[in-house]
Amino acid sequence: MLMMIVASGVGFGVWTVGRAVRPRPTPLATTIRSVRQPGVSLLEQDGRPNELASGLSETASRVLATLGLGQSEALAAQLRILDKPPERHAFEKLLAATAGLSLPLLAGAALVVGGVSVNPAVIIITTAVLAVGGFFYPDLPLSEQVEKRQQAFRHALSSWLDLVTIILAGGGGIETALTGAADAGDGWAFDELRRALRRAELTGRTPWEVLDELGATLQITELSELAASVSLAGGQGAKIRQSLAAKADALRAQQAADIETNAEERTEKMIVPVTVMVIGLTLFIGFGAIDAISTDGGATYAPTTEAP
């Protein structure tokens, strides 16, 4: 029965992979979207594209699409914020699911070869649970990674605003200040800002419109508010330098409050392990003391008689 299940799984996997790798026409909208939204490519150490990793990632993405397990809008938004290609994430999901599927089967086969009787139902249930758990395991850390990446972008945004205000104080225009401040920084956040401003320049749109779209894409409300301030300055000539400086100060104050809140939360989380450790130490010492007292109290001493 176990061999029949393994053979059925292998046959279904071969059919799915064969159907996924079959060349199919790619929709034009998908191709344009992949060009407009660059992601982190799988590279080798020398910086050249790894064709094997890219091919495996694309195959994994096609397999999930064939099975009807394509990415949702929420997952696509998270991957966009992390700048992670969907193909790579699909490859990680299939790899984890394959590992969870293979380990119980290999362990069961080893036990059967060793002469140990194994209940097939246990192997089937364990295989199904580990395969499903492995498939969803790469999705678990995404929320935390997205939050950390957004926090890093807010730190970079405050620095960018400081540079913008300095250039404005030197007599530069608003568009010159935005572009010059973005060119002066390093990191993925400044890369996103440079790409957005470059896209605005090439498409003939205003920088604040593109910054508003970037804030909506990265789910950074502060960037959308900044775009509204810049739009007000470009359309009505408001005092942009003072408003940007105030926005930078507000960002730094919010970041300091977030850091203090995270520190307090971690301090509260440390109460539980410390309490468990103290209780364990108390039980360890108390058990020894109670055991010693009970042993001494229950001991009987025979009377000694002196020889005449």
pLDDT tens readout for residues 260-285: 877 777 787 788 888 888 888 888 88
* Confidence at residue 65, expressed as pLDDT on a 0 to 100 scale: 59
* Confidence at residue 221, expressed as pLDDT on a 0 to 100 scale: 86
- Of 1-5, 90-94, 97-101, 123-127, the least confident: 1-5
Contacts (Cβ under 8 Å, ≥6 apart) of 223: 153, 157, 211, 212, 214, 215
CA neighbor of 175 nearest in space, from 198, 156, 158, 157: 198
* Confidence at residue 41, expressed as pLDDT on a 0 to 100 scale: 41
Percentage of the chain exceeding pLDDT 90: 0
* Separation between Cα atoms, residue 116 and residue 118, nearest integer Å: 6
SS3 114: coil
* Separation between Cα atoms, residue 173 and residue 196, nearest integer Å: 18
CA R_g for the chain: 31
Tokens of 230: 């810049």
pLDDT tens readout for residues 214-240: 888 888 888 888 787 777 765 554 567
DSSP secondary structure of 203-225: HT--HHHHHHHHHHHHT-HHHHH
- Tell me the one-letter amino acid at 271: I
Torsion over CA: 115, 120, 124, 126 (sign):
negative
Residue 304 pLDDT grade (very low, low, confident, very high; cuts 50, 70, 90):
low
* Confidence at residue 10, expressed as pLDDT on a 0 to 100 scale: 64
Contacts (Cβ under 8 Å, ≥6 apart) of 65: 20
- Tell me the one-letter amino acid at 248: A
Q: What is the mean pLDDT of residues 301-305?
A: 51
Tokens of 232: 């007000």
Q: What is the mean pLDDT of residues 77-104?
A: 83
Asked whether 158 and 251 are in contact (CB, 8 A), the reply is yes
Chain position carrying tokens 């990632």:
57
Q: With a cut of 80, say whether residue 162 has pLDDT above it.
A: yes
pLDDT tens readout for residues 34-77: 544 444 344 344 444 455 555 555 665 565 555 555 566 788 88
Contacts (Cβ under 8 Å, ≥6 apart) of 196: 207, 210, 211, 213, 214
Q: With a cut of 80, say whether residue 25 has pLDDT above it.
A: no
Residue 24 pLDDT grade (very low, low, confident, very high; cuts 50, 70, 90):
low
